[in-house]
């Protein structure tokens, strides 16, 4: 998927530096607001590294927003990861359920449609894999992300005060559930 006029594409799968860049963007964003440091970084690093090692399972996937720009040599392009979203089919250990993790957009790429495109790619993958339910966890301060989640069909199912990485905050759990196929108007023989 290409985001018009931005030089940014959404690409699936692992690429070198993805884990480091995903962590870097999260720390750059969250540390100034929450003072999350060592516990936050090491927890995410372990968890996301585990997911990356499990990408051999076709129901796990990661997407990166890649910004390409020409270098001094026209034959070469510089590529930078400016956003990520991870889909983990195993972390919650619930049947046919996935978890969205590691969703972030670099501050310099915000407002370009990167978050919307990453979410669209994730939801397309979720549909292709026919997950019945997808869960994610976030805080109530993430207004732009919450807007995208709700637009994709996620609803808040839990809002509770927690201590996360030594900081008290409200953690939200949002769930997306596959819409049920409507049988309204269909008689027992399958005719309308």
> 91 in helix, strand or coil?
coil
- Domains of the chain and CATH, by start: 2-177 (3.40.630.30)
Q: Is the pLDDT of residue 192 over 50?
A: no
Q: What does pTM read for this prediction?
A: 0.84
The predicted pLDDT at position 183 comes to: 47
Pairing of strands 97-105, 167-177: unpaired
Q: Which of 106-115, 164-173, 175-184 has the highest mean pLDDT?
A: 106-115
Q: Hey, what long-range contacts does 36-42 have (CB within 8 A, 24 or more apart)? A: 36/164, 36/165, 36/166, 36/167, 37/165, 39/165, 39/166, 40/165
116-167 tens-digit pLDDT: 999 999 999 999 999 999 999 998 888 888 999 999 999 999 999 888 777 7
The predicted pLDDT at position 2 comes to: 65
The rounded radius of gyration (Å) of the Cα atoms in the chain is: 18
pLDDT confidence tier of residue 78, bands split at 50, 70 and 90: low
Q: Which of 42-51, 56-65, 174-183 has the highest mean pLDDT?
A: 56-65
The predicted pLDDT at position 30 comes to: 82
User: Which tops the pLDDT comparison, 141 or 72?
Assistant: 141
Q: What is the residue-wise DSSP string for 6-21?
A: TTEEEEES--TTHHHH
Looking at every residue in the chain, the average pLDDT score rounds to 86
What are the structure tokens assigned to 164, written together? 């996360």
């Amino acid at each position: 998927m290409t985001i018009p006029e931005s030089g940014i594409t959404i690409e699936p799968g692992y690429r070198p530096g993805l884990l480091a860049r995903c962590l870097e963007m999260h720390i750059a964003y969250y540390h100034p607001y929450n003072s999350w440091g060592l516990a936050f970084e090491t927890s995410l690093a372990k968890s996301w590294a585990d997911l990356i090692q499990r990408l051999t399972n076709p129901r796990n996937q990661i997407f990166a927003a890649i910004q390409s720009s020409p270098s001094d040599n026209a034959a070469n392009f510089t590529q930078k990861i400016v956003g990520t979203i991870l889909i983990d089919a195993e972390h919650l250990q619930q049947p046919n359920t996935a978890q969205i993790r590691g969703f972030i957009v670099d501050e310099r790429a915000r407002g370009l449609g990167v978050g919307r495109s990453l979410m669209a790619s994730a939801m397309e993958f979720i549909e292709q894999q026919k997950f019945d339910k997808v869960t994610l966890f976030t805080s109530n301060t993430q207004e732009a992300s919450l807007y995208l989640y709700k637009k994709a069909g996620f609803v808040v199912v839990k809002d509770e005060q927690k201590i996360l990485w030594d900081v008290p905050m409200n953690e939200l759990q949002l769930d997306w559930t596959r819409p049920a196929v409507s049988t309204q108007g269909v008689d027992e023989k399958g005719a309308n």
